[in-house]
Structure 1
């Protein structure tokens, strides 16, 4: 049978995605011709920003290479603009005279960037941010010029500003509105975003209206003038003020348009032979500029082009995810609220976290997240499903991992996810598609999953979930790239190990030194790399490197643990879990004086005062006269003990005294991750020593040491390390192990994962079997601890330290 002819005008993500879906349904139905106006095959426009920053190249973001077109027998005509549609003759004509006949025509003409109609808008040095040509122009300008102005504080504007700043330009962002991302964020989240970006070197001129672009006699940009008469010098001006559906070709052909090419629920225009998808489309009065809705359209259009006729496009609930200079923001649905809605909010400006969830009629209808967006996909799923969240309400703010037995799978429970659960929002890939590809194609790596499904191939935020699905399908056969082989973040190309080595070998004493030497892409780094670099320089050069408090995690900076209602938790130190009547009276008095709503014994044998107001924290510490910062940092937390031989009839050693000695020996220690210890007075193990980072168990002839335990989400049983006779040996072996961990582990790597990476034999060879090396490690730890003093010892009575906290929490 003679094949039908399908012509696609537009070689972008929406048009080519429609072809991919069509080829799945019927690969032999059409002879396909694609016209593309650019010299490249289909590429990922979402990743133009990493190309601008230098993190990727154009080749890295190609979605369908030339071989793909050839393998699918698709005629690809690049560098050609279709200028005319003859509907009567069913043919299109390109600007070079090429004519192609069609039985079905798919318009995927995308959108055009908006150029402000102001004097000087056509000067040399005025660019948009829409395609590779624009990116290349900005990269070339950054090599020569110094000052850039970006007009527009939306998604593209901020990404352009970030990219130019990464290229070394001084960037000012001009925005007509009073807050950034005003279509994606509420004012609170936008304010946090602006503050963070300002700290990273960007300048903002809010509520400024452009009057004209100024140029020199040669027709080159030299600045910008505003309506209020003020001016700003600039060598480059990027207009990122919006997009407009490209309907020129449809208008010329007499196809009905109104702020887009009008289509019905089958993506068919008023001409039944012509379909349209993507940013050029107006569906039920809506035009979408995000990729997920475009892919939903593509699937429906392909269904009808294949004559299946059983699918419809009702419109999309949209979500937005942006990562710029290490800041994560996410929004979905109706995040503004108001009227008959209610909002649950969590605001932690110091920790850089803001969450707003909007509820109506017992359903989640909107979400706005800043700083912590890990549960964005889950919230988006709840919004789309429009199911009752009554059972989830108490857990909603704390994410999918906290819902427990409410009937919803946690974020790590991929086995509980339904096959139609969307995993990759950028490319519209659901779990079932990934599982099917893994099983049918025999996939064992995330890169293979990307190639076959496109999941995790765009922004990459779902890569961790794809890894979990892969592991769930093939178990230990999954070839997951270890952390040791991954760059620390997008700011550089170096792994944790390479960075630690450079800091040690080249005596890099500060975050700035490390970034400069390793040629960091972003001037100030991000929330991922800064805490890691701070730990690496301070642990490598104790007493010489300056601790950058602002690069520590939020709880370490504020020295308290924020709770879901905005109050704080204080856990007074009790050495080894032992207290006195006097301390208990002070705790009780503080609880009464400051109306503490909950006093609770923790799993680590300490007393937790929950619900303390931020303004009361300094006075609570002063009245307690007991340090409490140990409970929150990446370092020594607690040493849990049982009563041991002093009171227990089964006890063989004084575990309480041993626990107190260990805690005092290690007080103030920082480490890659939190460290918990326990000492049990006999093998009955009442202190749960078998699931601690270091567990000490008393036996008749001394002490057995176990290492690498973890009582968290995934319980890890500690491994036997060594048996010693004396308390002094317990201190030395424990300290030496922890120092080796401090020197070799990656930031945020627990001891169990560190041991899994280097092997227990490696650690034993240096600590157990080599006495001189063990002594050196312990000595280095004690030297470091002479500088890593517990900040709480002096904070209580130190006015300067108190003022620092008040500044941090202002």
Structure 2
């Protein structure tokens, strides 16, 4: 019988510990994870990329829901543990779940520190710590323009850069003389200030905040020197504090954080701690590399304790990052003292600054600004305590090798650390490439974890891959780590060989994993249906969790059912059905959505077929990579500004394109006039009524990666607009990568190219529309599939009753 392991915290350190356990002994533990946020495990390091618009939330997910399911890890999101009984070895969650454990791991991380200032509780005063904070900033930027960031450290500057990208005016308040004083020395900090001022940030150094002012919402900030600033949003980024309240209440030994030994054991038996909530030898680490080192030691200790030669002994602190487009690196002790000497290079023309600190013939610290190409070599010298007495001190900062070329990873020893976040050396990467036959960057990333966190070492990993395999082409962006083929090559092979099933694709095309993975199986399943819509047999098992259950999974394991309401129009009969179902199945929450429908939130998994059957309404496909909604305004029939029948056209569009599979979700809107009440300007396909006709906008995105749609075509008739959407969508279906939104697709291929394909090439347009009609003729109705399944269950039940009676 398996032991029970409970993890409190669904963050990077805790889940990495589970990954290490699964590598060493995948059948040792029944694992249960409780997380406070309503998300699977994501990369907190890349939150700034989401805020700045360089990544979508899904891009920073490290372990999706399928990973938990495949590894039989029970996940409770949005349900933190509120009590731990170390004597009974039991935990209790906020939602009332009780869970026994044999081993318990605290990975509760840290909380953002909020300055206890008057007015800090006003609306518009937030931290920058999680996805919700990102979403708040993005939403605020739509209505307000003046932002103040308190804190000139890394997090504060990343927040400021993101707010600039959101077209807000940004002032940064910092208590010190220069920026990022924990990671940089004064010359580097001043260079960074100059660079960021050129980008549009305004800085106020040596400033002490006195109070935040406003009635209900923040309107300004006052300083102790009597100066003031107006503000619509204040972001505090002044540090973090280990989240130890639960551990204290459980009676664990807590100082600044939860005290652990070299094996991450706390003061209670069978209770461990890793990550920012743990204090080891007096230090609580806030960087990802030490946290992963702790997780590795803990995993080995509770799976193979006899093989563990030594425990965790602490880490050398270093950071390598890109601050608003500027490369920065620091490591070790880089401050000047009487016992140290330093070598400095300062190129004001190129904006480059380098400093290496030496003590007793050893490199003990370094700061690099603007050019971090020497970082890997210097970090390894610091870690190895290399004696440099026989080395020319100037050679510590070479910009080129002896032949005049840039220094390459090929010149590094095998022990050199390539991926600092995950502790992966050059030797680890090269050995994995040779022994495992790895040929793509994605394969190396999945196998070794190199470049899986901040991603800064990706160029070095790609270079090592090319050097080791002798094949530059091996570094192409493949579909996933299971294959050497990219998206286009997989589609071409499916067409050429007439492949019809995901397993056939993986077998014929030489997949390296018999089962594939959660990234490639849904993609293959989509490509098969797109290539041959008439003969394709959809593989239900290759779809994402939400698509398999025809509902969106919630953070507590229940589901959200969304019936379709064409164009946002409903009637009393539908509303009665929804109300009756909600009462019968104790649905805890009904909510009107932004897509003009009604969510039934909190439906139990076992009730889903009955709920769909009794609603008698078609699925709204809120979970699907397909057309989700067509939002409409009331139109010319009711609105005095409307020029067209937006509701009628919206319903026609929705009925025509519902259930057609697409590379990613697709949203549409129809507005009856340029006032755009249906938000047509930020949809994948947005239609706007004008005098005498319609305008079509494409490639809009109203999510985190906000993008206004491009005006694509004007037409007098809705039939012409309908055909244009058909042709455009079919070309998108055939040529986009799986999980590529129309906004990214339009930017990749170019709007001019799409106009040539869809508008100027009449024969090509006609062929696209015909292929779309073929695909539409064979689409599956998931609602009918669910209802038929429920009816079949009833028939089988009745047959069984007859058998028993006879």
Give the TM-score of the pair, scaled to structure 1: 0.57
**Cα distance change on mapping 1:415 and 1:344 into 2, 3 Å:** closer
SS of corresponding position for 2:276: coil
1:400-479 matches, within 5 Å, as 402=401, 411-414=407-410, 417-418=413-414, 420-476=415-471, 478-479=473-474
Equivalent residues of 2:409, 2:460 under 8 A apart: no
1:376-391 matches, within 5 Å, as 376-391=375-390
**Cα distance change on mapping 1:458 and 1:399 into 2, 3 Å:** farther
1:570-585 matches, within 5 Å, as none
**Cα distance change on mapping 1:11 and 1:401 into 2, 3 Å:** farther
1:345 paired to 2:341 = no
Larger Rg: 1
In 2, the alpha carbon distance for the partners of 1:298 and 1:119 equals 40
1:324 paired to 2:323 = yes
Equivalent residues of 2:248, 2:254 under 8 A apart: yes
Equivalent residues of 1:395, 1:402 under 8 A apart: no
Partner residue, 1:301? 298
Deviation at 1:440, TM superposition (A): 4.5
1:285 paired to 2:268 = no
Cα deviations by residue, 1:239-270 (Å, 9 ceiling, x for unpaired):
00000000011000010011000011111111
1:40-439 matches, within 5 Å, as 40-216=39-215, 219-308=216-305, 309-399=308-398, 402=401, 411-414=407-410, 417-418=413-414, 420-439=415-434
Partner residue, 2:797? none
In 2, the alpha carbon distance for the partners of 1:82 and 1:33 equals 12
Partner residue, 2:16? 17
In 1, the alpha carbon distance for the partners of 2:88 and 2:317 equals 38
Equivalent residues of 2:38, 2:77 under 8 A apart: yes
SS of corresponding position for 2:33: strand
SS of corresponding position for 2:62: coil
**Cα distance change on mapping 1:416 and 1:244 into 2, 3 Å:** closer
RMSD: 2.0
Deviation at 1:314, TM superposition (A): 1.0
In 1, the alpha carbon distance for the partners of 2:367 and 2:256 equals 28
Equivalent residues of 2:188, 2:369 under 8 A apart: yes
1:535-574 matches, within 5 Å, as none
In 2, the alpha carbon distance for the partners of 1:471 and 1:209 equals 52
Deviation at 1:51, TM superposition (A): 0.3
In 1, the alpha carbon distance for the partners of 2:218 and 2:432 equals 52
**Cα distance change on mapping 1:188 and 1:29 into 2, 3 Å:** same
SS of corresponding position for 1:279: helix
SS of corresponding position for 2:253: coil
- Consecutive unaligned residues of structure 1, counting only runs of 5 or more, are 483-810
Q: How many residues align?
A: 475
Equivalent residues of 1:262, 1:282 under 8 A apart: yes
Deviation at 1:457, TM superposition (A): 3.1
SS of corresponding position for 2:10: coil
In 2, the alpha carbon distance for the partners of 1:263 and 1:412 equals 40
Deviation at 1:396, TM superposition (A): 3.5
Deviation at 1:395, TM superposition (A): 4.4
Deviation at 1:57, TM superposition (A): 0.6
In 1, the alpha carbon distance for the partners of 2:89 and 2:52 equals 44
**Cα distance change on mapping 1:404 and 1:283 into 2, 3 Å:** farther
- Consecutive unaligned residues of structure 2, counting only runs of 5 or more, are 478-806
Equivalent residues of 2:262, 2:313 under 8 A apart: yes
**Cα distance change on mapping 1:250 and 1:399 into 2, 3 Å:** farther
Deviation at 1:416, TM superposition (A): 5.3
1:741-756 matches, within 5 Å, as none
Deviation at 1:438, TM superposition (A): 2.6
In 2, the alpha carbon distance for the partners of 1:110 and 1:413 equals 34
SS of corresponding position for 1:7: strand
In 2, the alpha carbon distance for the partners of 1:439 and 1:415 equals 19
1:712-731 matches, within 5 Å, as none
Give the TM-score of the pair, scaled to structure 2: 0.57
1:537-686 matches, within 5 Å, as none
**Cα distance change on mapping 1:20 and 1:404 into 2, 3 Å:** farther
Cα deviations by residue, 1:568-607 (Å, 9 ceiling, x for unpaired):
xxxxxxxxxxxxxxxxxxxxxxxxxxxxxxxxxxxxxxxx
**Cα distance change on mapping 1:396 and 1:334 into 2, 3 Å:** farther
**Cα distance change on mapping 1:366 and 1:222 into 2, 3 Å:** same
Deviation at 1:451, TM superposition (A): 3.0
Partner residue, 2:35? 36
**Cα distance change on mapping 1:270 and 1:411 into 2, 3 Å:** farther
In 2, the alpha carbon distance for the partners of 1:413 and 1:290 equals 24
Deviation at 1:311, TM superposition (A): 3.0
Equivalent residues of 1:355, 1:397 under 8 A apart: no
